[in-house]
Amino acid sequence: MKTTVTELPESRVRVEAEVPPEEVERAMARTARALGRSMRIPGFRKGKIPPPVVIRRIGREAVLDETVRDSIGRWYADAIGDARISPVGEPDLKLPEQLPGEGEAYTFTVEIGVRPKAKLGTYKGIEVGRREPRADEAAVQAELEALRERAARLETVDREAREGDFVVMDYVGSIDGEPFEGGAGRDQMVELGSGRLIPGFEEQLTGAKAGEERTVKVTFPQEYGAQHLAGRDAEFAVTVKEVREKVLPELDDDFAVDQAGFDSLDELREDIAAKLKEADERAIDRAFREAVVDAVAKEAEVDIPASLVEARARELWDRMLHSLAHQGISKDAYLQIAGKSEEELLEEAKPEAETALRREAVVAAVVEAEGIEPSDGDILDALQASAVRENVKPEKLRDRLEKTGRLEDLKEDLAARAAIDLLVEEAKPISVEQAKARDKLWTPDKDEEPSGETPQLWTPGS
């Protein structure tokens, strides 16, 4: 594919793409084969009709029109890849009014936002605050309490139920005196105070004893999953069958032996502290990498148009909606839970969007400045884990990515990781206290008097 890139204002580009005639013909042949599977033509077996016959029967223009519809997404991706740009936001795709004749190329134009360019400042040896890993006593105790919870046992008690107890019950629900689907249950156990039932249900069982019958009145929430129940008033005839108390084991040496296989509680505490410290170290590493990139970004010049920030915010929003859909949560349901409009949430996403664009621009500039390019060995190493899962050779996965036009994306990702690795290796960790102290320093420009405003300026390495 032949592409021509023209830079436009506000970090946008125009990509003019030309699909060569031979690729158009191959795509038409694929479309014709697909169309031919549902056709019946005398002299040919079903599904075995040659593409030229299908094209003659349906008409070249009709097949080509269907081909463009089927192929434009792939051609667009190829054009973006060939143009070597990093798109941001939705593309403005402009297709020609007339389809090409036989033996002619197909041309189309795309206008889209692209990742902004950064002019790097200091990016090696930059000083960034990094705290020491820790596992405080409160965190260790919280883990021990979680272990106790998992080891707890339930004992039947002859007293009134209170918060934290488990109640075993039968219930039958009704709305306007009529039973409703899913409104009855037997031997159901619920923890009072857990908040797992309809608001108000658990509270009305507090104080009940085994053998007692109660009428529980509730209102289903407006956002309740079952639409026919949302917002409706209901009554439940409840029979309490048992009250069970949760009994936690003592935190002693026996607990350490029985629950974790340690000889003493002190050994268990030490093991928990060590694991918490390891987890904290990993979290610090992630935070430090991010902080280094942000520190380099502060030293760089990056012009990010508002339209680009808005486009990236929309991308983040769409990505989240896609993730929520996989969890069975619709956009309307999420907006109800959030209690905000889509416009408000998009506005709130803009700072995160701008930060992401700034980071990406700076990392890309470092890749270019350092001439970072992943080797074939780097690519195969990155594909090793996936190759093992799929029981194929990494080379096969690499070839597959290349055929589908996704290999460049992997290369860009690997180059970005390598650039961040370089920045982190070159960075100089300082204590959090030092970083905070330096953040409060103010260095006036030459011939400029202090303004009296809160000092904020700190130049790393000064």
Q: Is the dihedral of CA 416, 421, 426, 430 positive or negative?
A: positive
CA distance linking residue 401 with residue 395, whole number of Å: 10
Q: What tokens appear for 246 in the block?
A: 């949760």
Sign of the torsion formed by the C-alpha atoms of 419, 425, 428 and 431: positive
As a whole number of angstroms, the distance between CA 91 and CA 309 comes to: 15
Query: Residue 422 is encoded by which pair of tokens?
Result: 């370089």
> Please, are residues 289 and 424 in contact by the beta-carbon 8 Å criterion?
yes
- By the 8 A CB rule, do 67 and 44 touch? no
pLDDT for residue 445 is more than 50: no
For residues 46 and 104, membership in a common domain is answered with yes
pTM of the model: 0.73
**Contact between residue 244 and residue 209 where contact means Cβ atoms under 8 Å apart:** no
What pLDDT sits at residue 452? 40
Across the range 258-272, mean pLDDT stands at 93
Which CATH number do you get for residue 108? Answer: 3.30.70.1050
Of 185, 218, 247, the residue at which a domain comes to its end is: 247
Q: How far is CA 347 from the centre of its chain?
A: 19
Domain count for the chain: 2
**pLDDT tens digits, one per residue of 115-164:** 999 999 999 999 999 999 988 899 999 999 999 999 999 999 999 999 99
Q: What percent of the chain has pLDDT over 90?
A: 78
Per-residue model confidence as pLDDT tens digits over 188-207: 999 999 998 999 999 999 99
DSSP code of residue 108: E
Rounded average pLDDT over 243-251: 95
DSSP, collapsed to helix, strand or coil, labels residue 223 as coil
Of all residues in the chain, what percent carry a pLDDT higher than 70? 95
Quote the pLDDT of residue 235.
Answer: 96
Dihedral of CA 52/57/58/61: which sign?
A: positive
- The H or E element spanning position 166 is strand 166-175
- Amino acid 450: pLDDT: 40
When pLDDT is cut at 50, 70 and 90, the band that residue 226 belongs to is confident
pLDDT in tens, 227-244: 889 899 999 999 999 999
Please compute the mean of the pLDDT values over residues 337-366 and round it to a whole number: 94
Q: Which positions ≥6 away from 102 have C-beta within 8 Å?
A: 60
Is the pLDDT at 216 greater than 60? The verdict is yes
User: Are the C-beta atoms of residues 63 and 24 closer than 8 Å to each other?
Assistant: no
Q: Which two tokens stand for residue 242?
A: 């048992």
Dist. CA 58–CA 55, nearest whole Å = 5
> What pLDDT, on the 0 to 100 scale, is given for residue 254?
94
- Condensed to tens digits (0 to 9), the pLDDT of residues 175-187 reads 999 999 889 999 9
| Predicted confidence (pLDDT) at residue 455 exceeds the cutoff of 60 | no
Which CATH number do you get for residue 222? Answer: 3.10.50.40
State the pLDDT confidence band at 274, using cuts at 50, 70 and 90.
very high
User: Which range (28-37, 43-52, 386-395, 434-443) has the least confidence?
Assistant: 434-443
Whether 163 and 221 map to the same domain: the answer is yes
**Cβ(187)–Cβ(168) below 8 Å:** yes
Number of neighbouring beta carbons within 10 Å of residue 44? 14
Query: Which two three-digit tokens encode residue 418?
Result: 């390598």
The reply to whether 49 falls in a domain is: yes
Q: Find out whether 112 and 92 touch, Cβ atoms under 8 Å.
A: yes
> 98, 114, 130 — which closes off a domain?
114
In angstroms, the CA 309 to CA 10 distance is 11
**Residue 102: inside a domain:** yes
Q: Are residues 7 and 100 in the same domain?
A: yes
Report d(CA 74, CA 17) in Å as an integer: 12
Residues of the domain holding 230: 153-247
Listed residues 247, 269, 302: the one ending a domain: 247
